[in-house]
Amino acid sequence: MKQMELLYEGKSKQIFKTDNPDNVVVRFKDDITAFYDIKRANILNKGRLTCDISSMVLGYLNDNGINTHFIERVDDDGQLCRVVEHVPVEVIVRNVVAGSMAKRLDMEEGIVPENTIFDLCLRRSDLGDPLINDHHAVALGLLSYEELSELYEMSAKINSLVTELYNKAGITVVDFKIEFGRATDGSLVLADELSPDTCRLWDKATGERMDKDRFRRDLGSVGETYEEVAKRLHNALK
């Protein structure tokens, strides 16, 4: 595999063409941003750590029957991934009330609802990725009702698997955000990272936050905490 020119650069990742038109290299950056770029920093080794964590989680999902874009980790901060047609929605899966849900509905963080909550958002950062529902998604021509039910079914399976894995690491998966793509045969594929940048992870023993909220809320030790998540996941997968 040969890495070729840069195709796209986002806030925390770069995507490069390769000599195989079906594959790209995704590179994880040390940059960290929040609140739509209002808050920015650079965390030493964050790219390596989020690549490490995301590679472990996506490899584990692949091994457990979830179709993902992830093929293999190629080096410290790079992953070889399948090219997919991106679906411009975000699915947020919530096991515990926190973040924007707590704020929007005036609920306390930490409440555990009986059911899993699935939010659907339109991926339009200029609009603040607004919350939409299934009917909006169909009306906007983004997905069919059949695809939406597959999307939620996959999200629920991903949630069960990721929760089980993090349980072994002594960590509660509070919530996470995922995005999907369509493979060449039209099937839906998980096409995103799953790392402390895109999940809320709480230490089961201490309740300590082990995710990007450390950065959003100025709690400090961002890199050290990501390192601890990586270490615990490596042990959980042994």
Residues in contact with ligand ASP by the rule CB under 6 A: 33-36, 129, 212, 216
Binders of ligand TMP in range 172-191 (CB under 6 A): 175-177
Q: Report the nearest approach of ligand TMP to the CB of residue 14 (Å).
A: 18
52 vs 175, which CB is nearer to ligand TMP?
175
127 vs 205, which CB is nearer to ligand TMP?
127
Provide, for the chain, the percentages of residues in helix, strand and coil under a 3-state DSSP scheme, each rounded to the nearest 5: 30, 30, 35
Q: Report the nearest approach of ligand TMP to the CB of residue 128 (Å).
A: 8
Query: Judged by CB under 6 A, how many residues of this single chain contact ligand TMP?
Result: 11
- Give yes or no for residue 199 binding ligand TMP (CB under 6 A): yes
Instruction: Please say whether the beta carbons of 93 and 158 come within 8 A.
Output: yes
One residue of 23, 45, 64, 100 binding ligand TMP per CB under 6 A: 100
User: Any idea which residue has 């009986």 for tokens?
Assistant: 114
Choose among ligand TMP, ligand ASP, none what residue 27 binds, the Cβ cut-off being 5 to 8 Å by kind.
none
Instruction: Please say whether the beta carbons of 108 and 102 come within 8 A.
Output: yes
Instruction: Please say whether the beta carbons of 66 and 158 come within 8 A.
Output: yes
Please tell me what DSSP assigns to residue 68. B
Closest CA to 91 of 175, 9, 170: 175
Q: Report the nearest approach of ligand TMP to the CB of residue 216 (Å).
A: 9
Binders of ligand TMP in range 24-83 (CB under 6 A): none
65 vs 115, which CB is nearer to ligand TMP?
115
* Beta partners for residue 1, in sequence order: none
10 vs 168, which CB is nearer to ligand ASP?
10
Q: Residue by residue, what is the 3-state secondary structure of 120-156?
A: EEECCHHHCCCEECHHHHHHCCCCCHHHHHHHHHHHH
Q: Report the nearest approach of ligand TMP to the CB of residue 184 (Å).
A: 27
Q: Residue 44 is encoded by which pair of tokens?
A: 């030493």
Q: Which residues bind ligand TMP (CB under 6 A)?
A: 92, 99-101, 129, 175-177, 198-200
